[in-house]
A and B are shown apart, each in its own frame.
Chain A
């Protein structure tokens, strides 16, 4: 049976996480088809067609799908999904918003945030904030699954030559409308895809002090994250939060500055290759997972770090 991957995109560019989801689809085995639902999104379909491992792209170009409203997109995915063995989406806020609605429409349970494919019907996923790994088996006719990007490598963005096929179906449930959005602008790499992430916590004391982290980040080409404490205190916007309820990252290097290391924060970063902790409290739990720990005042250590890298 073929696998349908619902593309993550903003109508002009294919989301990087879709490449990881294609890899998960390839691991399941079978033809991989990608659905691009949006408006004026032909360029996204063309990009998806070039992804290695993709054999067909379905393009549903309709004003009703402009802002990925789940009330409109989920019925489309459910209708198309009936012909597939698996329906996959990235565990981004868009994927999490749409896919459970698809699963319920198909009357099947959904499997969230898989990190490993064991076989076509058996998958691994973290539960309890990553403190346990569940191996689950699905007997559903259509297996509806979201994929945690950090669990899978990205498929090559070039090398494929899939055909693009237009899908005519249009669903406008007419019960919801997009009003507006406020997107954070940043020149730094995207948090979930960055090779290096530097995060600040309550120890940063205020938003202005994050400037210290931005300076180091710019030198290293890193993204900047934050703990829930830093977000709740209003130091930085919510979309920078790393953790169980924020973003899940697994960079080559994660530098935690002034972060104690609560269970909920560790859930979002403990699969990083190398973890560095800079904290003045040597009892902080973050030191139990850090490869390199430095007990120091961050206001001295971070500027020094910046001058040395």
Chain B
């Protein structure tokens, strides 16, 4: 079974982002970029499926700028077999990404598509579900356990009240939660080998996808700032303040 994994280049999760003074977005100049943490988990899951003999080939895909090749090479170093970059200069929304992925799915015919549940920049949590609607495939979102059995995949999902398990007909879509696995590190020999693996560059036009969006960002502003309060010396003082000053207990 072929597994398609979608990854995204995002600002590193440890970076405290700053909003630009002109309110057009956050300042990403000279900021460390990495693979979205949920996408790393998606790659890791695909590699584990291959190690178990369930997956035969892992194709990793991203939609983004030329620099996103770095993230594809990372995925190749982690164990993906080949990569596809759908290069675009401007930022693409979830629906646009889902449409591009649909075109890639039609071409590659994977048995399973694995994505992260959300990217830590836009925090949308939409792409996997949208791809489900566009392809008609079932979806196992927020997965913490994935078991392929015959022509079905059982996915245990993290839901608000606990866990839920669903059985999906293959081909299916899985989006990863943090608990799914612990991604491995790429070894130096694997990083060297990854440089020789195939990386195909395409455009959305060539795939016949129009990247129009019905949502535009009017402005981006900093959140209201919270000032540090006071330090109390004892628990008794804390309780007194909460009772009489803040009046919350």
Residues of A within 8 A of B (CB): 67, 69-71, 74, 78, 92-94, 96-105, 107-113, 122, 126-140, 173-184, 192, 196, 220, 228, 231-232, 237-239, 244-245, 247, 252-253, 263-264, 270, 273-276, 282, 287-296, 301, 304-305, 308-309
Contacts and interface: CB of A to CB of B under 8 A. Distances in A.
B53 interface: no
Given A104-B131, A253-B249, A274-B248, 13 more contacts: A67-B166, A71-B132, A100-B94, A109-B93, A109-B95, A128-B123, A131-B16, A176-B169, A180-B164, A182-B162, A237-B162, A291-B246, A294-B233
B26 A132 contact: yes
A101 B139 contact: yes
Interface residues of B, number: 81
A105 B129 CA distance: 10
B95 to A, nearest CB: 5
A77 to B, nearest CB: 11
A177 B162 CA distance: 18
B235 interface: yes
B123 A110 contact: no
A109 B95 CA distance: 6
B150 interface: no
Contacts, number: 263
Nearest to B223: A133
A130 B137 CA distance: 32
B120 A304 contact: no
Contacts of A287: 228, 231
A129 to B, nearest CB: 6
The A interface, classified by DSSP as helix, strand, loop or mixed, is mixed
A295 B230 CA distance: 11
Contacts of A112: 123-126
B231 to A, nearest CB: 5
A134 B226 CA distance: 18
B238 A128 contact: no
B138 interface: yes
B77 to A, nearest CB: 25
Contacts of A245: 117-118, 177-178
Contact of A244 (B123, B126, B218): B123
A101 B164 CA distance: 19
B229 A184 contact: no
Contacts of A94: 159-160
A268 B172 CA distance: 31
A228 B179 CA distance: 10
Contact of A305 (B131, B163, B166, B239): B239
Contact of A292 (B127, B154, B158, B241): B241
Nearest to A141: B214
A93 B157 CA distance: 10
A126 B77 CA distance: 33
A131 B223 contact: yes
Given A103-B95, A109-B214, A177-B167, A247 B129 contact: no
B159 A136 contact: no
A94 B230 CA distance: 39
Contact of B223 (A105, A130, A274): A130
Interface in B130-172: 130-134, 136-139, 141-142, 144, 154, 157-169, 172
27 contacts: A70-B141, A71-B132, A71-B139, A97-B142, A104-B95, A104-B134, A109-B93, A110-B94, A112-B126, A127-B26, A128-B11, A130-B223, A131-B16, A134-B220, A138-B215, A175-B138, A178-B166, A179-B166, A180-B165, A183-B163, A184-B161, A196-B248, A247-B160, A252-B248, A273-B248, A275-B229, A292-B242
A98 B134 CA distance: 13
Main SS of chain B's interface residues? mixed
Given A177-B167, A179-B154, A101 B133 contact: yes
Contacts of A293: 228-232
A301 B233 CA distance: 11
A97 B242 CA distance: 39
Nearest to A273: B248
B226 to A, nearest CB: 5
Given A112-B125, A135-B219, A291-B246, A129 B130 contact: no
B187 interface: no
B98 interface: yes
Contacts of B89: none
A173 B124 CA distance: 25
B31 to A, nearest CB: 11
A253 B216 contact: no
A80 B127 CA distance: 22
Contacts of B161: 181, 183-184, 239
A103 B130 contact: yes
A120 B126 CA distance: 22
A103 B158 CA distance: 22
